[in-house]
Amino acid sequence: MTAHHPTSHTAARVRRLEERLIAAGLTDDAELDGIITRFLAGASPLNGARIVARAWVDDDFRARLLTDANSAIADVGLSMRSGLQEQRLTVVANTETTHNVVVCTLCSCYPIGLLGPSPSWYKSEAYRSRVVRDPRGVLAEFGLHLPEETTIVVHDASAESRYMVLPRRPAGTDGRTEDELAALVSREGLIGTALV
């Protein structure tokens, strides 16, 4: 996506809330920055890549991932818990005939712990509104040109529910280790705006 979004209304509201908490003496900028730093310390697209690589080599794990992702990702030491709340994770698999792409049309809900901080284009109003109406056109802007017969399914994340794409395993990767396979997976592949 080439569109760049201005400071969002939500970000401005969050900052006003932070300023009120600071003014009331309940916290300060350093403490808020520390919370964010601790939260993001383990957040990386490598986590999602590890999940994908395991699903590519372990059929049982793949089946459980597609039916109960929250339970399955515990096998690789990951969780969708943030604070007291556990968000529901749904993993959707690309096939020969179906390609999945993820968006949050309301804001920018996104599995940060599995994919790292969201890219700016994911939060942009242009992406959020257009990928639902014209997914093929938006994917083409990312350089992803899918055959006309490929069905594109758009999944809309929410505050309670997150999505991650399970890309198709590339041909010619038999015999590679999980680490080698994980190295092939990009954040964009986990969102569905790129192939692996």
Catalytic residue status for 109: yes
How many Cβ atoms sit within 10 Å of the Cβ of residue 183?
A: 13
pLDDT per residue as tens, the chain (196 positions): 444 344 456 567 767 887 888 889 888 877 776 666 665 666 789 999 999 999 999 999 999 999 999 999 999 999 998 766 788 999 999 999 999 999 999 888 889 889 988 888 999 999 999 999 999 999 999 999 999 999 999 999 998 899 999 999 999 999 999 999 999 999 999 999 999 9
Could you report the per-residue pLDDT of 18-65, keeping only the tens digit for each?
A: 788 888 988 887 777 666 666 566 678 999 999 999 999 999 999 999
pTM: 0.81
Cα distances from 187 to residues 25, 112, 149, in angstroms, run 38, 11, 25
Is 124 designated active site? Answer: no
Answer yes or no: 108 catalytic: yes
Domains of the chain with CATH codes: 6-41 (no CATH), 43-191 (3.90.330.10)
Q: In the annotation, is 79 catalytic?
A: no
Task: Quote the pLDDT of residue 36.
Answer: 63
- Where b means 16+ CB within 10 Å and e means fewer, 144-163 reads beeeeeeebebbebeeebbb
- Residue 2: per-residue pLDDT: 41
Residues 6 or more apart whose CB falls under 8 angstroms from that of 51 comprise 65, 72, 73, 76, 78, 91, 114, 164
Candidate list 8, 44, 79, 107, residue with the active-site label: 107
> Whole-angstrom Cα distance, residue 52 to residue 77?
14
What pLDDT was estimated at residue 173?
A: 97
pLDDT confidence of residue 39: 57
CA angle 81, 26, 123 (to 5 degrees): 45
